[in-house]
């Protein structure tokens, strides 16, 4: 599929999705959000894709925020619908994909950009990355999951400070906070993401999908994460991946998982 705002490539089991609006510092507008949904959905259902990497084009920005010009004149009702639709088709959608999603943060990740990175299953960053949620400086709050996922990742106190000051943190601080897992130079960023993806791909895609569901369950109100884990654990026993993994272990050979 041809996209106007993103680029996609699939190679060696990895689909790389690049947000490509360099003149706008890769800001998320409605069209880009919809294209990201389509590309992520396509990659998730593609049996050849085992890991998805999301990054931004150029050297300045991952995603420098939402495209404010699109909603500056919205009413209360339209604002609520904007957040609900965005969370449904992109941010919650990414978090709940069964295919692992790595955010490779190459520069500014602000507002909706940081919210997109936080919805990925984990994050790596270049040493020039800057992250923050500046929404309160515009008279609004983060509306794409930022007030929920940031405290989960860095703790309530740090999240409150970042949201209320509308400040930015650098990559080393983000690493210290646990917001990102690794920090490397910009040239090393995609190679690192692909190296991590290759480690993931050695394992069972089916089991990883169930693990994602179980981990996420702990953060959902009214859901018993332990019960979800038990159910998912049991379900693994009925899969071809389980048969192959245990057989390979007992035969002292490398497993060749069937995959999705």
Question: Which of 34, 70, 115, 161 is an active site residue?
Answer: 115
Spatial contact of 65 and 11, defined as CB atoms under 8 Å apart:
no
Question: Which of 4, 59, 77, 135 is an active site residue?
Answer: 135
Nearest partner of 163 among 101, 114, 212, 125, judged by Cα: 114
Spatial contact of 109 and 63, defined as CB atoms under 8 Å apart:
yes
Place of tokens 């048969």: 243
Query: How far apart are the C-alpha atoms of 112 and 145, rounded to whole Å?
Result: 9
135 among known catalytic residues: yes
Phi, psi at 6, each rounded to 5° = -135, 160
Place of tokens 């332990």: 226
161 among known catalytic residues: no
Apex CA 18: angle with CA 173 and CA 44, to 5°?
100
Please report the DSSP string for 79-144 in residue order: HHHHHHHHIIIIIHHHHT-SS-EEEEE-SEEETHHHHHHHHSSEEEEETT-EEE--GGGGT----S
Active site residues: 115, 135
């Amino acid at each position: 599929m041809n996209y106007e705002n993103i680029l996609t490539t699939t190679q060696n089991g990895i689909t790389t999705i690049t947000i490509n609006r360099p003149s706008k510092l890769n800001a998320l507008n409605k069209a880009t959000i919809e294209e990201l949904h389509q590309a992520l959905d396509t990659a998730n259902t593609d049996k050849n894709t085992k890991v998805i990497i999301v990054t931004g084009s150029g050297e300045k920005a991952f995603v420098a925020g939402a495209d404010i010009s699109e909603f500056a004149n919205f009413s209360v009702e339209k604002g609520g619908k904007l957040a609900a639709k965005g969370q449904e088709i992109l941010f919650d959608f990414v978090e709940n994909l069964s295919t692992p999603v790595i955010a490779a943060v190459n520069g500014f990740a602000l507002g909706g950009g940081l919210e997109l990175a936080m919805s990925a299953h984990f994050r790596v960053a270049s040493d020039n990355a800057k992250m923050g949620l500046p929404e309160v400086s515009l008279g609004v709050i983060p509306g794409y999951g930022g007030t929920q996922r940031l405290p989960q990742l860095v703790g309530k106190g740090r999240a409150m400070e970042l949201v209320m000051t509308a400040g930015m943190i650098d990559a080393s601080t983000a690493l210290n906070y646990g917001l990102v897992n690794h920090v490397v130079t910009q040239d090393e960023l995609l190679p690192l993401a692909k190296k991590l993806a290759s480690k993931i791909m050695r394992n069972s895609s089916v089991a990883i999908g169930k693990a994602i569901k179980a981990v996420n369950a702990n953060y959902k109100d009214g859901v018993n994460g332990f019960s979800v884990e038990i159910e998912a654990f049991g379900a693994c026993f009925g899969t071809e991946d389980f048969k192959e993994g245990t057989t390979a272990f007992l035969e002292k050979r490398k497993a060749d998982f069937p995959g999705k």
